[in-house]
């Protein structure tokens, strides 16, 4: 499985740590979608969009991949990723790691958004390990709900 990474300036150093961790210790195929240098003036939407689009394109080719996107809080990064059809981003900035497992088991989240300002390197590594190891259950109720999430928005009449 390929894991895409993307981060803005606030998540830049954590991204680099996690790329090495996921590629080295966890032995996943990794692609770094940027940022490629630390620029305080960077804008996160186009950087995060590269990773989300890569996951979306893999979905269209029936290739299983995931992405980890990182920003100061992770909120904006999750919002950007969730704009792409078929992409389901879960946000984590610390606390009970069970939410990471549930995001995979129940929601089949294929993007994890991390809040770098709220996680130590050790906490982020643990979160990534847990999230990448978790699997979607495939239970009918979860499949049904994901299909509802993926439906186009309905406008009120």
Cβ-proximal residues to 110 (8 Å cutoff; 6+ apart), any chain? 55, 59, 65, 66, 67, 86, 87, 88, 89
Residue 154 is assigned to a structural domain of this protein:
no
103 in any annotated domain:
yes
Residue 155 lies in a domain: no
The enclosing domain of 70 has a CATH number of 3.40.1400.10
What's the predicted TM-score (pTM) here?
A: 0.95
CB 61 within 8 A of CB 86: no
- Its domain, for residue 133, covers 2-149
pLDDT of res. 151: 77
3-class secondary-structure state, position 41: coil
- On whether residue 111 sits in a domain, the answer given is yes
Taking alpha carbons only, the member of 47, 20, 46 closest to residue 36 is 47
Note whether residue 32 is domain-resident.
Answer: yes
pLDDT, tens digit, 9 for 90 and up, residues 36-56: 999 898 999 999 999 999 999
Q: Report yes or no on 157 lying in a domain.
A: no
Cβ atoms of 88 and 109 closer than 8 Å: yes
Q: 90-138 pLDDT, tens per residue?
A: 999 999 999 999 999 999 999 999 999 999 999 999 999 999 999 999 9
Residues designated as active site: 77, 106
- Structural domains counted in the chain: 1
pLDDT at 126: 98
Whether 133 is in a domain gets the answer yes
93: Cβ contacts below 8 Å, ≥ 6 apart = 73, 74, 114, 115, 117, 118, 119
**156 found inside a domain:** no
């Amino acid at each position: 499985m390929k894991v895409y990474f993307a981060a803005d300036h606030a998540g830049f150093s954590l991204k680099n740590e996690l790329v090495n961790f996921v590629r080295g210790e966890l032995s996943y195929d990794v692609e770094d979608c940027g940022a490629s240098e630390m620029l305080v003036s960077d804008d996160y939407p186009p950087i995060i969009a590269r990773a989300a689009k890569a996951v979306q394109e893999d979905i269209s080719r029936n290739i299983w991949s995931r992405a980890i996107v990182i920003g100061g809080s992770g909120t904006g990064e999750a919002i950007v990723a969730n704009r792409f059809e078929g992409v389901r981003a879960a946000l984590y900035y610390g606390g009970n790691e069970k939410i990471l497992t549930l995001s995979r088991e129940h929601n089949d989240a294929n993007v994890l958004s991390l809040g770098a300002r709220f996680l130590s390197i050790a906490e982020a590594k643990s979160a990534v390990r847990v999230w990448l190891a978790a699997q979607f259950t495939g239970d009918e109720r979860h499949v049904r709900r994901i299909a509802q999430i993926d439906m186009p928005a309905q406008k009120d009449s």
